[in-house]
Amino acid sequence: MCCSAWPATFSRTITGTWEVMVDDRLMHVLWYQNRVGSGAQGGFKRQIFEILVHARMSDPRSSLAQYAGVMEANGITLQEIENKVARIEGRAPTVLEPAAQKDEPSGKGNCLIIPLLGKWESIRLLNTYDTPNLLEDISKSLVMPIPDNAPRSLSIAAGFGGTGGGIVFLQFDIYDIVLAERAADIPAVLAQINPQKRPEVNDAVFGMLDRWYMCPVAVCCFNGSQSGEAKPLGFGFEPLYPDKLVVYTLDGHDGKPPDPTKLVKVDHDIFVGSYLMKAASHARVSYSDNIPAHLNPYVLRDILGVQIKDKRMENGDFVFSTEQVRKGFFQGLRSLPPMAPAGLPRLGHMAVREYAYVSDERSPS
């Protein structure tokens, strides 16, 4: 999202914002997910990881020692496997003894810093515990269709209290979350975060966020050695700027305030949508998880989006016109936060989609 405290160990990021109507209130929903930690990143590593999980479930007494070389080569730990098995079995994971995980990396505290351009009292952390595949299903809907003249055997893989405001501490999945009405209040309370998850972030980062966004901020803290199977993050809120849908991608991975003049690598699946959208061409998301009743009002089935793969762009967020999204147009301007200094040069980079959606090909003519 805005930035993390240390150089990123993530693979692909899936993020977007859409508008919904919940209990007669217009809400924006911000979604975010990446693969945190070293394990199970990339298709091949993920396959190995799932094989090892299956082996552990088939024989819980197995130490998996025979796979030690494969695990080391792919950065997969016993604790990650235990965590995944525990989630499947619906129980709390067992914390392995040091002797059983002597090669387990200790990791460092890290965090996602997520501006929430919404009214403080309206912010809701959505419970996605039962929908771990929600954003990956969205990612799959955004892949580029296979051309008609391409062999159909080829597959296209989907990338994978303070000094003036409220402070709330939350726990969800692997994250310890500090939700602050003012970003400037965060440094004073980070000491209350579990030391193993506590990030080392320059206080100037939060000063910049306070000045540039002037909105609540969520700091989602985790340990860098944790599994790459984190649940999607979803925040619903009444927007401060209903005429815009903002996808937060301002980049800073060195613990310092993001540099708005830099070119940064963008490797994101970006999506937007609206409950009022009327689009002839769009992605139809087929969710593999059963969407529970409490989450259903916040979830859209028809979206617009694109996969941006390893492209250099000017630093900033993507800003979409809500009116244009409702009409089915996907055009996100690379922009700086609302209160960023005026006059900074902008190159006019945009997120656009230049090809059809896979779901278009399945639609009846």
How far, in whole angstroms, is CA 288 from its chain's centroid?
A: 18
Q: Quick check: is 261 in a domain?
A: yes
Q: Quick check: is 113 in a domain?
A: yes
Are residues 282 and 207 located together in one domain of the fold? yes
Q: Quick check: is 3 in a domain?
A: no
Q: Quick check: is 5 in a domain?
A: no
Are residues 214 and 69 located together in one domain of the fold? no
Are residues 198 and 244 located together in one domain of the fold? yes
Last residue of a domain, one of 84, 101, 118: 101
Are residues 87 and 192 located together in one domain of the fold? no
Instruction: List pLDDT tens digits, range 253-304.
Output: 666 788 888 898 888 999 999 999 998 899 999 999 999 999 999 999 999 9
Q: Quick check: is 25 in a domain?
A: yes
Are residues 119 and 65 located together in one domain of the fold? no
Are residues 309 and 354 located together in one domain of the fold? yes
pLDDT of res. 116:
95
Are residues 188 and 220 located together in one domain of the fold? yes
Are residues 134 and 48 located together in one domain of the fold? no
Contact (Cβ atoms closer than 8 angstroms) between residue 159 and residue 12: yes
Last residue of a domain, one of 67, 82, 101: 101
Last residue of a domain, one of 66, 85, 101: 101
Are residues 82 and 158 located together in one domain of the fold? no
pLDDT of res. 11:
55
pLDDT of res. 360:
72
Whole-model pTM: value is: 0.75
Are residues 140 and 197 located together in one domain of the fold? yes
Nearest CA-CA partner of 275 in 16, 30, 26: 26
Q: How confident is the prediction along the chain (365 residues), in pLDDT tens digits per residue? A: 555 544 444 457 899 999 999 999 999 999 999 754 443 344 556 667 777 887 788 777 767 776 776 677 667 788 888 888 888 888 887 877 655 544 444 557 788 899 999 999 999 999 998 999 999 899 989 987 755 543 333 222 222 233 456 899 998 888 899 999 999 999 999 888 888 888 888 889 999 999 999 999 999 998 866 656 678 999 999 999 999 999 999 987 666 788 888 898 888 999 999 999 998 899 999 999 999 999 999 999 999 999 998 889 999 999 999 999 999 999 999 999 999 988 787 888 999 998 889 877 554 43
Q: How many domains does the chain have?
A: 2
- Which token pair is 232? 């999607």
Q: Dihedral sign, CA of 180, 183, 189, 190?
A: positive
Are residues 79 and 219 located together in one domain of the fold? no
Q: Quick check: is 225 in a domain?
A: yes
Which domain does 184 fall in, by range? Answer: 13-37+108-362
Are residues 65 and 172 located together in one domain of the fold? no
Q: What are the angstrom distances between the C-alpha of 286 and each of 120, 283, 289, 300?
A: 32, 9, 9, 10
Q: Quick check: is 4 in a domain?
A: no
- Looking only at the bridges linking them, the beta strands covering 13-22 and 263-274 are parallel
Q: Quick check: is 8 in a domain?
A: no
